[in-house]
Amino acid sequence: MSELTLAHLVLDASVPVQAVMVILLLASVYSWGLILFKRRMLSQARSSAKAFEDYFRREQRMSDLYTRVLRSSEQLGAMASIFEAGYKEFQYQRRQPDFDRELLKDNSARVMRVVMNRELDVMESSLSSLATIGSVSPYVGLLGTVWGIMSSFTALGNVQQATLAMVAPGIAEALFATAMGLFAAIPAVISYNRSTAEIERLASRYDNFIEELISLQLHYGQPKRAEETVAQ
């Protein structure tokens, strides 16, 4: 039974099947690196969004919150960047002699959504790689399996009497390639789906924040008002 250990399944396989196994192993290592990186990135995005919402609720004036964002040495995250862009546009519009509330609404929303989309693009980067690994790896493994089985049965043509013991090792090596393909694909697909869903939730959270901030700007956005209240 020693021929069927994992080491022998890899070392005794044909060169094409070994090449497939190496490709799948590299794909698996790369995908796990991406999985851990995305998990950490999205966890930080959730934490920073919650922290900034707490700041947003506690501060009484947008000007105080803006000063805190500028002076903070912490990484406040995407929501702070969205607020900073929106507040700058808010201040710019208030200084205009022909101040218009609808123009404030449109411009502020546009500026903040540009920042939001840029932050979401960063979060979505490399997700396509996970999707590719998840969709392609099973087929790469299947290619190795087909090649290995073809080689095993081709070798039977050179013998007078075929037995199961003669083809079992070759078939086992070939099927191991399929198992490696699934091992690389399943975590990648799960991580891709979870990351996509989490990014969608964050996008909805940012969008709600933008709408809330625009509402406050419209309510308190008078050209000569000295201070702007964030929340009561």
Identify the pLDDT of residue 226. 37
DSSP label at residue 5: S
CB of 230 closer than 8 Å to CB of 62: yes
Per-residue pLDDT of the chain in tens (232 residues, 90 and over written 9):
444 566 666 666 677 778 888 899 999 999 999 999 999 999 999 998 988 888 888 776 777 778 877 776 566 788 888 988 888 888 887 777 776 777 778 888 899 999 999 999 999 988 999 999 999 999 998 888 888 787 777 766 666 665 656 666 667 777 888 888 999 999 999 999 999 999 999 999 999 999 888 887 776 655 444 344 444 4
DSSP label at residue 2: G
Which residues, at least 6 apart from 219, have a Cβ–Cβ distance to it below 8 Å? none
Q: Which SS3 state, helix, strand or coil, does residue 13 take?
A: coil
Q: What are phi and psi of 12, to 5 degrees?
A: -90, 0
CA separation for the pair 50, 134 (Å, rounded)? 32
Residue 96 CA, chain-centre distance (Å), reads 41
Q: What angle do CA 25, 28, 29 make, to 5 degrees?
A: 90
DSSP label at residue 207: H
CA separation for the pair 40, 147 (Å, rounded)? 39
Identify the pLDDT of residue 119. 92
CB of 231 closer than 8 Å to CB of 56: yes
Identify the pLDDT of residue 169. 67
DSSP per-residue codes, 79-90: HHHHHHHHHHHH
Identify the pLDDT of residue 95. 78
DSSP per-residue codes, 36-80: HHHHHHHHHHHHHHHHHHHHHHH-SBHHHHHHHHHH--S---HHH
In this structure, which amino acid lies at residue 196? T
Identify the pLDDT of residue 225. 42
Identify the pLDDT of residue 187. 94
CA separation for the pair 113, 123 (Å, rounded)? 15
pTM: 0.78
